[in-house]
Amino acid sequence: MGYLRLLILILLGIWTTGTSSGQEFVSKSDVEDPIIQLLEQYIVKLGNIEASDPSGSTKDFLAIFSNPNVRVINNLYADSAQQSLSVMNYCNKLIELYPEGMTVGFSDKTIKIGKARQSLGNRYLIPVKVHLKMTAYYEGKVYEHSQDVSFTIAFNWDGNSAGLFQIYGISLPKSYPQEIWVTTAFSGSRVTGPWIKQDDRFTNKVQAASSINLMYLVWINSKLGLGAGIRTSFAQSCLELNSFNPLQGRDPNFNQVSFNTSLYQYEFPIKLYSKTNWKGRFNLIAGAGLYWSQRMWLSTVSSAVNTNYDIRKTDVISDSQWMNRIRKSFIGAEVQAGVRMKLSRNINLLLDANYSQALSALDKMDDAQFSTQRYLGKYNPLWMDPESRNYLQIMSVRLSVIMSINSLE
């Protein structure tokens, strides 16, 4: 029992020490005003750095940092936006590239203060996310850059008040950029297969189609993103056959046969995206991935011209066995490429072209036994022999509204 009491006392002592050794709660209201003041000093002092007074202006700027070796993001030119260097080297590079200085700004509305954590003793660190806008001029050229950056602010905390605020580092935000894409597509679709291309009697017309898409996307880094979503898709196909093969010498008295199919389905895409800076507010976007399609509704209409009376008749082909063998779900692949334009900090537009191809055949014919007599020839209602397959193709021009939903961790 003596050892048990001793262990309990030791544990209580450790817990009491931990709760009274600088772990007091630091609220946002305790640090918000000093942090904003420090960021304003950063903007002013960075804007004062110029070649006419390199020593004085640099010294004044370095004074708001913990030390000259603090690592900061190198956003002095676009290609280096994700490289870091010491704040001292940053000042030297700034004077070298832009002798006349740089203008930097931010809006208080873009400031997001994270949660403070204890560093050492009464010294605390807190992340602060800010959207910076930078402009510089040199030899008639203009450099403009804007991005979200994360300041790490160090400060002292005595349990009641905070003081000695300094910049401990500047980096890219730890949180991954997240976006919602809302897309409408104007498309053309058809059902096709190798057997159609091999038979010159067929005409395979592209029909009007459409879709509405909702995509959630996370950018893994500045160039690669992963997205998943849901969309509703309406697709059609129209196959025309100029003549039947007579069965056992019998003439079915039909020609100019057409078979129209309409599909309404839900689709669930997963895609990998690539983004490349192009010019100013414009980016090039490419994407590729897979989708799973679930059919909700199907309609088929067949017609043909009766050669005896020269009139077109509908429902010339009808077979519940075949209708029941159209797949209710299938897997497909798709690719896209387009141009993305930045409208504001949180809104972008994307205009792209998208091509999707079913990887699973629409018809499941593995064990089907068709009576060719029902079809007045060797072709079933999709104008194929039982050994062939049909695949859905969709070609689209799409317009997307992209909304950023970034948040500070």
Q: Are residues 222 and 351 in the same domain?
A: yes
Q: What percent of the chain has pLDDT over 90?
A: 33
Please say whether the beta carbons of 90 and 76 come within 8 A.
Answer: yes
- Residues 161 and 221: their CA atoms lie apart, in Å, by 38
Does residue 247 have a pLDDT over 60?
A: no
4 lies in a domain?
no
Specify the higher pLDDT residue, 322 or 21: 322
Question: What CATH number has the domain bearing residue 220?
Answer: 2.40.160.20
Distance of CA 110 to the CA centre of its chain: 22
- 74-103 pLDDT per residue, tens: 888 765 545 788 999 988 888 888 888 888
Please say whether the beta carbons of 291 and 267 come within 8 A.
Answer: yes
259 lies in a domain?
yes
* C-alpha separations of 254 from 204, 270, 321 in Å: 19, 45, 22
Specify the higher pLDDT residue, 17 or 88: 88
Question: What CATH number has the domain bearing residue 62?
Answer: 3.10.450
Give bridge partners of residue 391 from the DSSP assignment. Answer: 192
Average pLDDT, the chain: 80
Q: Are residues 199 and 278 in the same domain?
A: yes
The per-residue pLDDT for 374 is 46
Q: What is the pLDDT confidence band of residue 184, given thresholds at 50, 70 and 90?
A: very high
Contacts of 268 (CB under 8 A, 6+ apart): 228, 229, 230, 291, 292, 293, 294
Q: Contacts from 197-200 at CB under 8 Å and sequence distance 24+?
A: none
Q: Are residues 279 and 394 in the same domain?
A: yes
- Residues 383 and 130: their CA atoms lie apart, in Å, by 62
The residue range of the domain holding 307 is 178-404
Helices 54-62 and 28-48, packing angle to 10 deg? 170
Phi, psi for 36 (deg, rounded to 5): -60, -40
Query: DSSP of 161-200, one letter per residue?
Result: -EEEEEEEEEE--SSPPEEEEEEEEEEEEEEE-HHHHH-T
Q: Are residues 33 and 108 in the same domain?
A: yes
Contacts of 210 (CB under 8 A, 6+ apart): 184, 185, 186, 187, 233, 234
Mean pLDDT of 43-54: 83
The per-residue pLDDT for 365 is 57
The per-residue pLDDT for 244 is 58
Alpha helices (H) along 273-394: 320-323
- Residues 2 and 407: their CA atoms lie apart, in Å, by 53
Find which of 159-163, 203-207, 217-221 is predicted with most confidence, using mean pLDDT. 217-221
Containing 42, the helix (H) or strand (E) segment is helix 28-48
The per-residue pLDDT for 345 is 77
Mean pLDDT of 185-207: 80
Does residue 257 have a pLDDT over 80?
A: no
Please say whether the beta carbons of 239 and 256 come within 8 A.
Answer: no
Q: Are residues 251 and 286 in the same domain?
A: yes
Q: What is the pLDDT confidence band of residue 8, given thresholds at 50, 70 and 90?
A: low
- Residues 317 and 195: their CA atoms lie apart, in Å, by 20
- Split into its structural domains, the chain has a count of 2
Find which of 43-52, 189-198, 364-373 is predicted with most confidence, using mean pLDDT. 43-52
Token pair 């500045």 in the structure block, residue: 222
- Domain stops at, among 112, 147, 171: 171
14 lies in a domain?
no
Token pair 């064990």 in the structure block, residue: 367
The per-residue pLDDT for 251 is 54
- 215-234 pLDDT per residue, tens: 999 998 878 999 999 999 99
Q: Are residues 51 and 135 in the same domain?
A: yes
3 lies in a domain?
no
- 303-329 pLDDT per residue, tens: 778 777 788 877 766 555 555 667 888
Q: Which amino acid is at 17?
A: T
The per-residue pLDDT for 94 is 87
6 lies in a domain?
no
The pair of three-digit structure tokens given for residue 60, joined into one six-digit string? 């004044």
- Domain stops at, among 149, 171, 193: 171
Does residue 373 have a pLDDT over 70?
A: no
Of 406, 405, 340, 402, residue with least CA distance to 181: 402
Q: Rounded to a whole number, what is the largest CA-CA distance in the chain?
A: 111
- Residues 393 and 359: their CA atoms lie apart, in Å, by 10
The per-residue pLDDT for 371 is 45
Does residue 380 have a pLDDT over 70?
A: no
98 lies in a domain?
yes
The pair of three-digit structure tokens given for residue 29, joined into one six-digit string? 């209201």
Q: Are residues 117 and 207 in the same domain?
A: no
Q: Are residues 204 and 312 in the same domain?
A: yes
Provide the 10 A C-beta neighbour count for residue 128.
Answer: 22
Containing 384, the helix (H) or strand (E) segment is none
- Domain stops at, among 171, 192, 212: 171
5 lies in a domain?
no
* C-alpha separations of 246 from 63, 304, 372 in Å: 93, 15, 11
Q: Are residues 305 and 184 in the same domain?
A: yes
Specify the higher pLDDT residue, 398 or 363: 398
Q: Are residues 118 and 233 in the same domain?
A: no
